[in-house]
Structure 1
Amino acid sequence: MIKRENIFYLALATLLGFGLAGWGVMEYLQEVSFLRSLAGKTSITYQALTGIAYGSVAALVGWKIVELPYLKSTKNFFIQLIRPLKLSVLEIVFISLCAGIGEEIFFRGAIQPYLGVWITSVLFVAMHGYLNPFNLKISVYGVFMTVVIAGLGYLTIHMGLLSAIVAHTFVDIILLYKLSNSSPDLEKENMLS
């Protein structure tokens, strides 16, 4: 079980660890300006609005997928993991911002130029435990998330890093909020088993 205080340390470690590592790789190994990558090819406003739209749609579709009868146990597992933390909306936004900023700087900014969109996406989703050869149900969700994360890679290429950061942040905000405010559906799950 995750301890409530540890989730905030993990969020800060993600922001600082992944963020600084990604920034360092971009600036010193790739010799790419971090700020120029963040600003991208389109306006910051357009990137932000696109990120909000993409992240919101991806999260809502993802939620519908885990509500399928086949994936009830997966949804229940995550509800039972997140709900006891009793996260406020502000805490959900903080955690989501830390993950969105840190992970996107590292994976989209630093790793993707070397490994490409799809390998980076598979690596990212596998690191989060969603591609698990011992759990087919979570892997079904993982395949969906791989496509979503690849979309973040293409947002970065065609728009800029900010669009991927915003999209990732909104995916996390929506899904954490839904997990924090849902009850496990144990009765129906037992009937399906």
Structure 2
Amino acid sequence: MSHARKIGLRRQFATCAAFSGLAALIIFCFHQPPYLASLLAGLPLYYQAAIGLGVGCLYWAATQIGYRYAANANTTKSTVESYGRLDLSGRNPIWISLAAGFGEELLFRGALQPLAGIWLTSAIFVIAHTRAYRFNGLNMRVLTQACGVFAVSMGLGLIAMYVGLVAAIIIHASVDTVGLYMVKGEIRKLQPQS
């Protein structure tokens, strides 16, 4: 693991603020009022929260099982390396996940998807994650991860469309929290014991 300076919370929150600001601009310029009502559309909020948390728990269980079989896969190693650049100390995985879940879902599902549709929005979502996942060429690892990010985006898009944006935000934050804590655990295993 590299000893380069970690990407901190300030940068993560700045990205969330930029995404949220861009989302607000798009919503105010291209969506019809009432803005808040359209963002909160869908199932009642308590159903959205329950579905979001339920899917998050299912993802945690699937991750625990899947990781046993994919721990040494190139995509897994690459994901750990990519997200290992973040400052995952303390409760940072939770804060990073909440920021990403809110900012990205507000922009991609709340602002862009109603205008561009689910397919184009998911393609833009993949492009937005190019740097995070180090999509730096066309090989099997990049293709596998890009398809995975696209599929996750499609799933979040469908959740936002049929359940509601709040559920998509909770699912996104839950998935990221689980993933970042797994990365944090892997980094801890790689560090020399003192």
TM-score range, shorter chain: 0.7 to 0.9
Question: Comparing 142-151 with 107-116, which one deviates more in the overlay?
Answer: 142-151
1:145 pairs with one of 135, 145, 149: 149
Superposition pairs for residues 25-40 of structure 1, below 5 Å?
A: 25-40=26-41
Structure 1 counterpart of 2:51, which letter?
A: T
Superposition pairs for residues 1-193 of structure 1, below 5 Å?
A: 3-4=5-6, 6-58=7-59, 61=62, 68=69, 72-83=73-84, 87-88=88-89, 90-129=91-130, 132=135, 133-182=137-186
Structure 2 distance, partners of 1:126, 1:175, is 20
Structure 1 distance, partners of 2:167, 2:179, is 18
Residue 37 of structure 1 deviates from its aligned partner by 3.0
Given that 1:27 and 1:33 are in contact with CA atoms closer than 8 Å, whether structure 2 keeps it comes out as no
Given that 1:66 and 1:74 are in contact with CA atoms closer than 8 Å, whether structure 2 keeps it comes out as no
Given that 2:9 and 2:87 are in contact with CA atoms closer than 8 Å, whether structure 1 keeps it comes out as no
Given that 1:86 and 1:180 are in contact with CA atoms closer than 8 Å, whether structure 2 keeps it comes out as no
Distance 1:64 1:160, change over 3 A: same
- Number of residue-to-residue matches in the alignment: 185
Structure 2 counterpart of 1:151, which letter?
A: G
Question: Comparing 97-106 with 28-37, which one deviates more in the overlay?
Answer: 28-37
Structure 1 distance, partners of 2:77, 2:189, is 7
Given that 1:26 and 1:33 are in contact with CA atoms closer than 8 Å, whether structure 2 keeps it comes out as no
Distance 1:126 1:67, change over 3 A: farther
Residue 67 of structure 1 deviates from its aligned partner by 5.8
Given that 1:107 and 1:120 are in contact with CA atoms closer than 8 Å, whether structure 2 keeps it comes out as yes
Given that 1:41 and 1:159 are in contact with CA atoms closer than 8 Å, whether structure 2 keeps it comes out as yes
Given that 1:76 and 1:185 are in contact with CA atoms closer than 8 Å, whether structure 2 keeps it comes out as no
- SS of 2:88's partner is coil
Question: Comparing 29-38 with 91-100, which one deviates more in the overlay?
Answer: 29-38
Residue identity over aligned pairs, in percent, reads 28
TM normalised by structure 1 equals 0.80
Given that 1:70 and 1:137 are in contact with CA atoms closer than 8 Å, whether structure 2 keeps it comes out as no
- SS of 2:43's partner is coil
Structure 2 counterpart of 1:98, which letter?
A: A
Given that 1:65 and 1:71 are in contact with CA atoms closer than 8 Å, whether structure 2 keeps it comes out as no
CA-atom RMSD in angstroms: 2.9
